[in-house]
């Protein structure tokens, strides 16, 4: 029973660390609401505040009637549960082969990161701002982005608020051809996912292969603040056990999570139908 020497806390920590390094969409969400979530169906209350009315003040009549702030709270429900489950043989022996076990942990983490990010990008329908581009090229990519940013600012997103652009490799290629990206070194790309920052705006650009895409909408590129989407997740448990009919051990893990667009006015989606051919390159 080699799995008695298996340390699930270490595996859980390592998997979470590896997963977080690979996340793009999920990493850019507001994660402060996670709390003590344990299972699908759990709900996290997100308290919101309304902006008070700004009125004129009169030295004679004083203040007007006192306002009672409206309840802006909403519930974030944990709706997703994803698992990994694989046979490892003799755990003691495998743990002594560090590279093999490390590779298995990384693959489990990569799988979790992919499904989590794809889930975040599936919320494209809830964006408050939508722009469609039939053919994106290096000539129109920056005007497309600036148009979306103008709409975000019109929605009272502060000009100094950090904004992220999450895009496909093809979209990133158009930015590179337009020469509008300040390059990021490789170490930052690995640890944060940032491939560059737009020269004219305070916008970090991320590349993801999990962007939602379909024949009707095309590629759904996200432009948002990190307050637009709230997310909570937990790697609930990682266990080793002896499967029936096998002389060896297996490992299984369960992750639960949920997400909600809480500020649709701070989420814009650029729907790219196709990528045009470049001329005079």
Do 132 and 250 fall within a single domain? no
**Who has greater pLDDT, 19 or 160?**
160
Residue 34: predicted pLDDT: 58
Quick check: is 89 in a domain?
Answer: yes
CATH code of the domain containing 214: 3.30.2320
Do 116 and 131 fall within a single domain? no
Band (37; pLDDT cuts 50, 70, 90): low
Mean pLDDT of 179-188: 72
Quick check: is 174 in a domain?
Answer: yes
Specify the length of the chain in residues. Answer: 281
Quick check: is 62 in a domain?
Answer: no
Quick check: is 281 in a domain?
Answer: no
- Percent of the chain whose predicted confidence (pLDDT) is above 90: 39
Do 19 and 117 fall within a single domain? yes
Q: In the predicted model, what is the mean pLDDT of the chain?
A: 82
Do 201 and 256 fall within a single domain? no
Quick check: is 180 in a domain?
Answer: yes
190: buried, middle or exposed (CB in 10 Å: 19+, 13-18, 0-12)?
exposed
Do 135 and 77 fall within a single domain? no
Residue 1: predicted pLDDT: 44
Do 160 and 135 fall within a single domain? yes
The pLDDT tens digits for 196-208 are 899 888 899 999 9
Q: Is the pLDDT of residue 91 over 70?
A: no
Quick check: is 280 in a domain?
Answer: no
Distance (Å, whole) CA 139 – CA 270: 16
Do 140 and 73 fall within a single domain? no
Residue 43: predicted pLDDT: 77
Residue 118: predicted pLDDT: 95
Quick check: is 42 in a domain?
Answer: yes
Band (234; pLDDT cuts 50, 70, 90): confident
Do 193 and 243 fall within a single domain? no
Provide Rg for the chain, Cα atoms: 23
Quick check: is 56 in a domain?
Answer: no
The structure's pTM equals 0.80
Mean pLDDT of 31-49: 70
In 61-168, which residue ranges form alpha helices assigned H by DSSP?
91-96, 98-121, 141-154
CB 251 within 8 A of CB 88: yes
CATH code of the domain containing 101: 3.30.2400
Q: What is the DSSP string of 147-168?
A: HHHHHHHHTT--TTS-EEEEE-
Structurally, the chain folds into a number of domains equal to: 2
Do 91 and 211 fall within a single domain? no
Domain that holds residue 47: 2-51+68-121+231-260
Least confident of 99-103, 164-168, 216-220, 221-225: 99-103
Q: CB count, 10 Å around CB of 89? A: 13
The pLDDT tens digits for 94-146 are 665 555 566 777 788 788 889 999 999 999 999 999 999 999 999 999 999 99
Residue 85: predicted pLDDT: 83
Q: Find all residues with CB under 8 Å of 234, minimum gap 6, and list them.
A: 34, 37, 38, 255, 256, 257
Q: Is the pLDDT of residue 190 over 70?
A: no
Do 244 and 211 fall within a single domain? no
Residue 145: predicted pLDDT: 96
């Amino acid at each position: 029973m080699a799995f008695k020497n298996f340390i699930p806390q270490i595996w859980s920590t390592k998997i979470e660390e590896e997963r977080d390094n690979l996340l793009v969409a999920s990493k850019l969400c507001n994660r402060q609401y996670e709390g003590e979530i344990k299972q699908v169906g759990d709900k996290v209350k997100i308290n919101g505040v309304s902006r008070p009315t700004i009125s004129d003040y009169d030295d004679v009549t004083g203040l007007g009637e006192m306002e009672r702030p409206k309840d802006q709270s909403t519930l974030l429900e944990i709706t997703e549960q994803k698992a990994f489950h694989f046979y490892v043989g003799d755990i003691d022996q495998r743990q002594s082969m560090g590279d093999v076990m490390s590779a298995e942990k990384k693959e489990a983490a990569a799988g979790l990161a992919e499904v989590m990010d794809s889930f975040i990008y599936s919320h494209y329908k809830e964006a408050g701002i939508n722009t469609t581009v039939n053919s994106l090229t290096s000539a129109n990519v920056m005007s497309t982005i600036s148009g979306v940013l103008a709409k975000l600012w019109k929605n009272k997103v502060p000009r100094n608020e950090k904004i992220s652009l999450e895009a496909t490799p093809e979209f990133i290629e158009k930015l590179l051809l337009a020469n509008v990206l300040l390059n990021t070194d490789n170490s930052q790309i690995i640890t944060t996912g940032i491939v560059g920052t737009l020269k004219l705006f305070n916008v970090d650009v991320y590349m993801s292969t999990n962007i939602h895409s379909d024949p009707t909408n095309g590629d759904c590129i996200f432009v948002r603040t990190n307050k637009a989407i709230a997310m909570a997740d937990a790697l609930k448990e990682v266990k080793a056990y002896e499967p029936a009919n096998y002389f060896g051990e297996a490992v299984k893990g369960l992750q639960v999570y949920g997400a909600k667009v809480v500020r649709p006015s701070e989420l814009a989606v650029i729907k790219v139908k196709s990528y045009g051919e470049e001329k005079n390159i």
